[in-house]
């Protein structure tokens, strides 16, 4: 049994995430912010991996208890001020559920995205100080804060360290994090080059590596972007004319790389029609996110040659070395109406969750995401 198979057998999900989210393997998540004609904000994101994970839809009422552990530091304990709905994945080591996407009752959303170049600060802290593990940023931010301004202020006082997915310091959590609030403000939390960076994100878009500042700089190469079709041109008396519409998007990056998706996410979130009602806005956002929805097999990465490949995408083509990233799920958040929508890979329609109605619940509840596959459902009723 090779190293990859041993890790999978012993550590399950954590091992797969660590093996698959590396600088040598593709990684795809797209997060963006859309605003309607009234200035209300809506967040959308996709999650891509070459394998399914045991995701759960989890609701935490206000007053829920949480803890975060960093080796050699006191345990950080807190109770939630705000209720929130989230997508979570079990941690095979601690048995806790880790938040990868969520929306709280104050209208703030959180997204965890892959970032292979994660490098956090060294642990130089007083050993009596409670420290937050970066992997717990989702639960901590959604529990305690109503705005990204509050998160920024709190992070100036609360130390955060990047921990490992596995014992012995193996596989540092390869993620960065983006938050949006109901005012339309947005930030990125990123650990790179041994530093924690909290960066304002006025465009509200985030994908994966390189670092967020690199993506912002790269946008300077796209100052020509416009949604206005230039469908005719006359050269020396010869009139050239497009036979249909759509030429405005010709210069957008075509690839599903992190760099290409970042530029396209800016384009679609900024130029999509500004809807007049929340229902229309959610529909528009769903159409925007369709541009980042990836079926299996659209791109195949053969750089990863370990036999754990068979676990990642078994029996797709009969080829034992077959890795294809696909959209595990897409999530939409209405930050004002406090509604959360999820569509998994096996579904055509979204399942919706209403935070206002869920606040009648007084205990935490989790339901496997697979229970909502291939149905159009009111997810709130499933919790009630």
Is the pLDDT at 4 greater than 60? The verdict is no
Mean per-residue pLDDT, 46-58: 91
Confidence grade of residue 132 (pLDDT, cut at 50, 70, 90): very high
231 in Cβ contact with 245 (< 8 Å):
yes
Compute the distance between CA of residue 146 and CA of residue 182 in angstroms, rounded to an integer. Answer: 9
Instruction: Please tell me the predicted confidence (pLDDT) of residue 122.
Output: 79
- For residue 209, pLDDT beyond 80: yes
Distance CA 378, CA 354 (A): 9
Give dist(CA 172, CA 22) in Å, integer. Answer: 11
Strand 132-133 and strand 160-161: the pairing is: parallel
| Residues in CB range of 186: below 8 A, 6 or more apart | 33, 148, 178, 179, 180, 200, 201, 202, 203, 204
Q: Which of 44-48, 82-86, 131-135, 316-320 has the lowest mean pLDDT?
A: 316-320
Tens of pLDDT, residues 82-93: 999 999 998 866
| Span of 130-139, 260-269, 294-303, 365-374 with lowest mean pLDDT | 294-303
Yes or no: say if 178 and 187 are a contact pair by the CB < 8 Å rule. Answer: yes
The arithmetic mean of pLDDT across residues 33-38, rounded, is 98
Kindly tell me if the per-residue pLDDT of 324 is higher than 90.
no
Q: Residue range 94-103: average pLDDT?
A: 91
Quick: pLDDT tens for 262-316: 999 999 999 999 999 999 999 999 999 999 999 988 888 766 555 444 444 544 5
- 282-307 residues labelled b (16+ CB within 10 A) or e (exposed): bebbbebbebbebebeeebbeebebe
Average pLDDT over every residue of 176-186: 97
Q: Among 19-23, 53-57, 121-125, 288-292, whose mean pLDDT is lowest?
A: 19-23
Task: Render the burial of 213-227: b for 16+ CB within 10 Å, e for the rest.
Answer: eebbeeeeeeeebee
- pTM of the predicted structure, to 2 decimals: 0.90
Peptide bond into 303 cis (omega under 30): no
């Amino acid at each position: 049994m090779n190293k990859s198979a041993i890790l999978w057998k012993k550590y399950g999900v954590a091992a797969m995430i660590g093996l698959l989210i590396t600088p040598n393997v593709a990684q795809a998540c797209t997060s963006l912010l859309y605003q309607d004609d009234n200035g209300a904000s809506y967040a959308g994101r996709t999650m891509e991996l070459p394998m399914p994970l045991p995701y759960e839809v989890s609701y935490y009422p206000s007053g829920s208890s949480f803890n975060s552990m960093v080796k050699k530091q006191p345990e950080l304990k807190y109770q939630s001020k705000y209720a929130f709905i989230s997508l979570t994945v079990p941690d095979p080591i601690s048995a806790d559920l880790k938040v990868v996407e969520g929306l709280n009752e104050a209208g703030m959303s959180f997204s965890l995205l892959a970032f292979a170049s994660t490098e956090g600060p060294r642990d130089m802290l007083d050993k009596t100080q409670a420290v937050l593990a970066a992997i717990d940023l989702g639960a901590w931010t959604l529990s305690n804060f109503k705005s990204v301004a509050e998160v920024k202020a709190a992070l100036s006082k609360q130390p955060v360290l990047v921990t490992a997915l596995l014992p012995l310091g193996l596989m540092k959590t390869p993620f960065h994090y983006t938050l949006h609030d109901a005012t339309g403000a947005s930030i990125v939390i990123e650990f790179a080059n041994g530093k924690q960076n909290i960066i304002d994100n006025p465009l509200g878009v985030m994908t994966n590596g390189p670092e967020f500042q690199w993506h912002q700089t790269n946008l300077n190469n796209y100052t020509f972007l416009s949604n206005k079709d230039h469908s005719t041109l006359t050269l020396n008396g010869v009139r050239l004319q497009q036979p249909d519409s759509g030429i405005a998007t010709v210069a957008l990056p075509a690839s599903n790389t992190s760099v290409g998706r970042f530029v396209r996410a800016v384009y679609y979130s900024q130029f999509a029609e500004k809807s007049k009602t929340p229902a229309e806005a959610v529909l528009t956002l769903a159409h925007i996110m369709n541009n980042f929805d990836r079926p299996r097999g659209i791109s195949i990465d053969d750089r990863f040659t370990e036999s754990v490949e068979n676990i990642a995408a078994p029996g797709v083509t009969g080829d034992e070395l077959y890795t294809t990233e696909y959209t595990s799920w897409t999530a939409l958040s209405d930050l004002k109406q406090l509604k959360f929508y999820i569509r998994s890979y096996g579904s055509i329609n979204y399942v919706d969750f209403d935070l206002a109605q869920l606040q009648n619940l007084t205990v935490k509840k989790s339901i496997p995401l697979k229970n909502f596959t291939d149905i159009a459902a009111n997810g709130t009723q499933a919790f009630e």
